[in-house]
Structure 1
Amino acid sequence: MDENKKAMSSLEEAIACPVCYKTLTTAPQDCNQCHNYFRNELAKLPSASLDLTPERIKGEIDDAVDSQPLRTELFRLPIISFLYERILPPIWAMGLRNVGGIDIEFQECREFFGQNLGIVADISCGTGIFSRRLALLQQCEQIIALDYSEAMLGQVQQQMQLEGISPSQITIIRGDVAALPFTPNSLDAVYSGAAMHCWPDATQGLRNIYQALRSGGKLFATTFLQPLPSIVFRFFTPDELPQMAIAAGFHPDCVQLETRGVYGIIKCVK
């Protein structure tokens, strides 16, 4: 089996329908739960992005929009996705996120993940800043960029074209952290940058990531902290983050927390 076929095979084993929770190889030809939508979506690989949100699969789009909080829906606005990478990185680099911004965060994450990674998921990827940098290193078997915002994922595709990144290097998935489209024990590492405060339920999101990680798999997640006011977003205290990770399934000895002002970095190993 050549490398491309091997990579596609491992990807098909990792991606699961978030409704019936079966993979392409185990889903029946006629699935009453997902109406074969999942099988048809995966047929688009590797040239197109996939929409694997439960509401899309079940055809319940209007109900889903009503059920999402503002902190989630906000990032679906085209103007937000357009400005995201053009405005925020300089602000982050001045110290709101890290002194040095995304460059420092990417370096720290790479050191934590180590070398020769298999399948890495960038969850709540935004415009794919992390995914694209990782793809340019060519050190991963597969990279998955997942976000709930169609507008953000459109920016991922545009930036990939500008940077000469092939669609085969990054699999783009519209997905919900509350119902991740991955099989248990299928991911080697997960990065989620400045995102947890946007999730409807951060503990549930961490629990889903824990289930998707292989034994020894690693999570590098960052978020903003109180005393930032939880008006639109849900900001956390430093004590809450490790507690949520432990509640999600990570062993207390395998959870590390670093705080830098109003920015928190949590590193977990399954």
Structure 2
Amino acid sequence: MSGFGAVGARLYAWFNRHPETNRAVVDLAELRAGEPVLEVGCGPGVALELAARQAGAEYVAAVDPSETFVAMARKRVPGADVRLAGAETVPFADGSFAAIYTLASMHHWDDRDAGLARLTAKLAPGGRLLLAERLLDRPGHGITPGQIGEVAARLTDFGQTGVRTVERRVGRRTLAVLVSERPLAA
């Protein structure tokens, strides 16, 4: 995905700002002070700001394919390492992060399997991966129960353990979060 343009990014940020959803995902990630964390598809940086409060700005990193969102997130969270990239091209070293999370971005990825493979490789042993999407009845801007099963199977294929789905009711929506861990030893 090439990302949103300047006007589209600002409109998306305005109409899709759900602080309670961001808070729910960051809380589920159980971030600790000094723990390196990555947000994939950070948008304007709302959840990134919450993660920085828990882990410390110097320990948070983010990627987004939109130059406008990257600029917005950098401004919102000075000290965070925010880069222009998508899930399939995350530019950090393998094994770098104790936690990686996405929020309403996976359905935008051009190649879901490539993105999942890339993210699982970026996790340190024992690291946590959280993939959050709005739960839907049919395919769209979110994830269906059938798609959850597909993603869970791919995570297992990529060596993730403890693969499970946590559902959170946020306002009128249900948030589905696939949670998995990187094994301590290969």
Work out whether the TM-score is over 0.5: yes
Please list, as runs of the form range in 1=range in 2, the aligned pairs for 1:33-182 lying within 5 A after superposition.
72-73=1-2, 75-89=3-17, 92=18, 100-109=20-29, 111=30, 113=31, 115-137=32-54, 139=56, 142-158=59-75, 160=76, 165-166=77-78, 169-182=79-92
Contact 1:188 / 1:213 at 8 angstroms: preserved in 2?
yes
Counterpart selection for 1:263 from 164, 175, 179: 175
- The CA distance in 2 between the partners of 1:82 and 1:220, in whole Å, is 25
Contact 2:74 / 2:80 at 8 angstroms: preserved in 1?
no
CA shift, 1:187, in A, is 1.5
- The CA distance in 2 between the partners of 1:196 and 1:117, in whole Å, is 26
Q: SS at 2:15's partner residue?
A: helix
Alignment-mate amino acid for residue 123 of structure 2: L
Q: SS at 1:183's partner residue?
A: coil
TM score, norm. by length of structure 1: 0.58
Q: SS at 2:127's partner residue?
A: strand
User: Structure 1 stretches of 5 or more lacking a match?
Assistant: 1-71, 94-99
CA shift, 1:87, in A, is 1.8
CA shift, 1:149, in A, is 0.9
Contact 2:155 / 2:163 at 8 angstroms: preserved in 1?
yes
1:49-108 deviation digits (Å, cap 9, x = unpaired): xxxxxxxxxxxxxxxxxxxxxxx34x422222112332213xx57xxxxxx433333322
Contact 1:203 / 1:247 at 8 angstroms: preserved in 2?
no
- The CA distance in 1 between the partners of 2:40 and 2:136, in whole Å, is 23
Q: What's the Cα RMSD here?
A: 2.4
Contact 2:165 / 2:179 at 8 angstroms: preserved in 1?
yes
- The CA distance in 1 between the partners of 2:13 and 2:45, in whole Å, is 9
CA shift, 1:194, in A, is 1.1
- The CA distance in 1 between the partners of 2:131 and 2:69, in whole Å, is 19
Contact 1:116 / 1:140 at 8 angstroms: preserved in 2?
no
User: Structure 2 stretches of 5 or more lacking a match?
Assistant: none
Corresponding residue for residue 102 of structure 2: 192
Structure 1 residues 226 and 134, CA gap change in structure 2 (3 angstroms)? closer
CA shift, 1:262, in A, is 5.5
- The CA distance in 1 between the partners of 2:53 and 2:142, in whole Å, is 33
The higher radius of gyration belongs to: 1
CA shift, 1:244, in A, is 2.2
Contact 1:118 / 1:140 at 8 angstroms: preserved in 2?
no
Which shows bigger deviation, 240-249 or 212-221?
A: 240-249
- The CA distance in 2 between the partners of 1:140 and 1:256, in whole Å, is 29
Alignment-mate amino acid for residue 80 of structure 1: G
1:7-39 deviation digits (Å, cap 9, x = unpaired): xxxxxxxxxxxxxxxxxxxxxxxxxxxxxxxxx
Stretches of 4+ moved more than 3 A in 1? 136-141, 233-236, 259-263
Which shows bigger deviation, 212-221 or 171-180?
A: 171-180
